[in-house]
């Protein structure tokens, strides 16, 4: 109850300040257009991959199934970061985010990033089976197994992200406004702002 009350009270008054890229208007416009262009390219490119895999019957194989899901994850992964970053470029001179907002961004960022890594490992396993057991490939890599591996990767990522985010945001943060030396709520920059012993948290992060 005491920890919960502390976190609740802390969430009411603590906010984080992002480090601004630049205060020069000309560079702000240039950065905004550059990041917006890259974001649109990511959206269009990955959406095109998903559309091609879904509409072309010859691509309905495990490899392209995982590839289309990887593209979907990339869309979500960048959407967690880029829109807020774009709004902060032309926002206030000291763009801020609340403690719950920072926790939510970190949770989704870690979840999607972890799922991305697990999915790449699954795709490597898929290619390994295709090379080492070509005659049994279709019997091993069934649709059911592919779906199960994808769900398990997401479930494991959710579990790890929830544990890590909860571990970090039960720490006390000194002061009402803390500057994050980053453009998003990533784990290491936020962890450095805690006014408590973080050796255990750093060990968990490295593991």
Tell me if 149 sits within 8 A of 122, measured CB to CB: yes
Spatial contact of 53 and 65, defined as CB atoms under 8 Å apart:
yes
Q: Is residue 5 part of a domain?
A: no
Q: What tens digit of pLDDT does each residue of 92-140 get?
A: 566 778 888 888 999 999 999 999 999 999 999 999 999 999 999 989 9
62 domain residue, yes or no: yes
Confidence check: pLDDT of 57 > 60: yes
- Whether residue 133 lies inside any domain: the answer is yes
How high is the pLDDT of residue 91? 61
Helices marked H in 16-171 — which ranges?
Answer: 25-55, 62-89, 99-132, 137-140, 143-169
pTM of the model as a whole: 0.82
pLDDT computed for residue 1 by the predictor: 37
Query: Residue 140 is part of a domain; what is its CATH number?
Result: 1.20.1070.10
Domain span at residue 103? Answer: 22-92+99-206
Q: Smallest Cα–Cα separation from 99: which of 191, 178, 11, 195?
A: 11
14 domain residue, yes or no: no
Residues 185 and 16: beta-carbon distance below 8 Å: yes
- Domain-embedded: residue 10: no
**Whole-angstrom Cα distance, residue 39 to residue 24?**
22
pLDDT tier, 9 (very low <50, low <70, confident <90, very high otherwise): very low
Query: Using one digit for the tens of pLDDT, what is the confidence trace for 153-178?
Result: 999 999 999 988 988 888 887 767 77
15 lies in some domain: no
- Look up residue 25 and give its two tokens: 């208007």
Within-domain flag for 144: yes
pLDDT class of 14 with cuts at 50, 70, 90: confident
DSSP character at residue 203: H
Total domains in the fold of the chain: 1
Q: What are 55's two structure tokens?
A: 């509409």
- d(Cα 147, Cα 87) in Å, to the nearest integer? 36
* Torsion 76-82-83-85 (CA) sign: positive
In a domain, 17, yes or no: no
Q: Left if phi > 0, otherwise alpha if psi is -120 to 50, otherwise beta: which for 197?
A: beta
Residue 10, pLDDT > 80, answer: no
pLDDT of residue 158: 95
Distance of CA 181 to the CA centre of its chain: 18
């Amino acid at each position: 109850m005491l920890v919960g009350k502390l976190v609740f009270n802390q969430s009411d008054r603590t906010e984080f300040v992002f480090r601004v890229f630049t205060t020069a208007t000309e560079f702000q416009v240039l950065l905004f257009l550059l990041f917006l262009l890259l974001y649109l390219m990511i959206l269009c490119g990955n959406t095109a991959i998903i559309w091609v895999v879904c509409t072309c019957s010859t691509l309905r194989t495990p490899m392209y199934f995982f590839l289309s899901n990887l593209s979907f994850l990339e869309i979500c992964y960048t959407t967690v970061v880029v829109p807020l970053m774009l709004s902060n470029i032309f926002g206030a001179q000291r763009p801020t985010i609340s403690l719950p907002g920072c926790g939510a961004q970190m949770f989704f960022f870690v979840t999607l990033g972890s799922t991305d890594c697990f999915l790449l490992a699954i795709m490597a396993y898929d290619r390994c089976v295709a090379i080492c057991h070509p005659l049994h490939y279709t019997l091993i890599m069934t649709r059911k197994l592919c779906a199960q591996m994808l769900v398990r990767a997401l479930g494991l990522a959710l579990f790890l992200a929830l544990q890590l985010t909860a571990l970090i945001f039960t720490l006390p943060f000194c002061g009402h406004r803390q500057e994050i030396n980053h453009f998003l709520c990533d784990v290491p920059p936020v962890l450095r702002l805690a006014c408590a012993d973080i050796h255990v948290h750093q060990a968990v992060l490295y593991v």
